[in-house]
Structure 1
Amino acid sequence: MPQPVQGGQPGGVRTDSSTVAQGLLLYADRVRRMAPAELAQEVTRLSDIPEAQRQPAEEMQLAILLAQTRVPADLVRAQGLAQRVLGNPREEARGLYPLAGMLVARYAEQRRVEEALDRQAQQLREQQRRIDQLTERLEAVRAIERSLTSRPPPNGHRPPPGQP
């Protein structure tokens, strides 16, 4: 993923951070179209890299992947990975700070929205449960009304029309 370019000290090779960030954006676009099985396979591949050996760009890749799984715990993990890149003082991480900061903010907002949706769904389920209870009570009252109106009046006399 990182493209080495000449620079820094004589004979040294450094990573061009704009090229890495651009590569991560292209990667994110590709990840967005991945099938669930392919996504899981890629998450496994990057998760298998020991944390101490994982490069900042690989942490960003894993964060991008995890945010696509639609699993709340994975989104929390994705946000943590992007925050780790923000806290990494190495040069290759510093070049990713703007992208990592944007992802941290985006993932935080996504978490807030998903939590709000979960609360609304819970409220909807509770309201539906109450509606069902009230419907059952209403049907019970209607059944009682029907049983009262279908009984013959006492002494075999029917009241004149228009009277209860």
Structure 2
Amino acid sequence: MATPLWLAGCVAAPKPSVQATLPPAPPPTLAPVEVEPAAPATQPASLFTLITQGPVSAMLSYSEKVRSLNGNELNAELARLGEPGDVPTAQMQTALALAQTRVPADLARAVGLLQRVAANTSAEARPLHPLARMLAARYLEQRRIEDDRDRQVAQLRDAQRRIDQLNDRIEALRAIERSFARPANGAAAAPASNGAKPAP
């Protein structure tokens, strides 16, 4: 009878089941939220392009804008721009608007503004140097072509005026010739119509 008790004493008693308890997960780290940028529709197109794509793209976009303006709208845009001062972007915008007026004096002023941008060594002006030089050369060529055209138009007007003067002189000479011919024809026809015999 002792043997079963001894065997029973050797049997290990079952250990109570222990469930693993995990610590709670830490809350996720939240990054600070930046201020949401203004939507493109709430900013001027040139300013938004300047911020997002750079000054050259902004100037190209502005050039497309002013090309579509009529005379009154262009004058209003120039009034809005005002004097550009020494700001390179304002100088180039004013030059682009002036080049669309088709006025020789405005085109000359546009060339001057672009040359000032090209000569400006500031950090704001340096990205605009290639575009300013290209536009200045293009506007100078445009001005030369327009000057040649105006000169040719003036020459044609002068030639037409001379032709008109020569035609007037020719017509005056013909009128004098006709006035000399009328009395002779009338004197020769008068005796024949009266039936008078010529004196011996």
The yes-or-no answer on 1:150 pairing with 2:182 is: yes
Match of 2:57 in 1: 22
Q: State how 1:90-129 maps to structure 2 within 5 Å.
A: 90-129=122-161
Q: Quote how far apart the aligned CAs of 1:64 are.
A: 0.4
Q: What is the SS of the residue equivalent to 1:91?
A: coil
Residue number among 74, 77, 89 corresponding to 1:57 in the alignment: 89
Residue number among 172, 191, 196 corresponding to 1:140 in the alignment: 172
Larger radius of gyration: 2
Q: Give the percent of matched residue pairs that are identical in Structure 1 and Structure 2.
A: 49
Which amino acid is 1:20 matched to? P
Q: What is the SS of the residue equivalent to 1:57?
A: helix
Higher relative contact order (CA 8 A, sep 6+): 1
Q: Quote how far apart the aligned CAs of 1:153 are.
A: 5.0
Q: State how 1:29-108 maps to structure 2 within 5 Å.
A: 29-49=64-84, 51-52=85-86, 55-108=87-140
Matched residues in 1 for 2:137 and 2:122: separation? 22
Number of residue pairs the alignment of both structures matches? 143
Q: Quote how far apart the aligned CAs of 1:89 are.
A: 0.3
Q: Quote how far apart the aligned CAs of 1:91 are.
A: 1.6
The structure 1 segments of at least 4 consecutive aligned residues displaced by more than 2 Å after TM superposition are 1-5, 148-157
Deviation sequence 1:51-70 (CA, Å, 0-9, x none): 14xx2111111000001111
Matched residues in 1 for 2:71 and 2:188: separation? 74
Q: Which consecutive unaligned segments of at least 5 residues does structure 2 have?
A: 1-46, 190-200
Q: Quote how far apart the aligned CAs of 1:151 are.
A: 2.5
Q: Quote how far apart the aligned CAs of 1:154 are.
A: 9.3
Q: What is the SS of the residue equivalent to 1:3?
A: helix
Q: RMSD of the alignment, in Å?
A: 2.1
Cα distance, 1:87–1:117 mapped onto 2, change above 3 Å: same
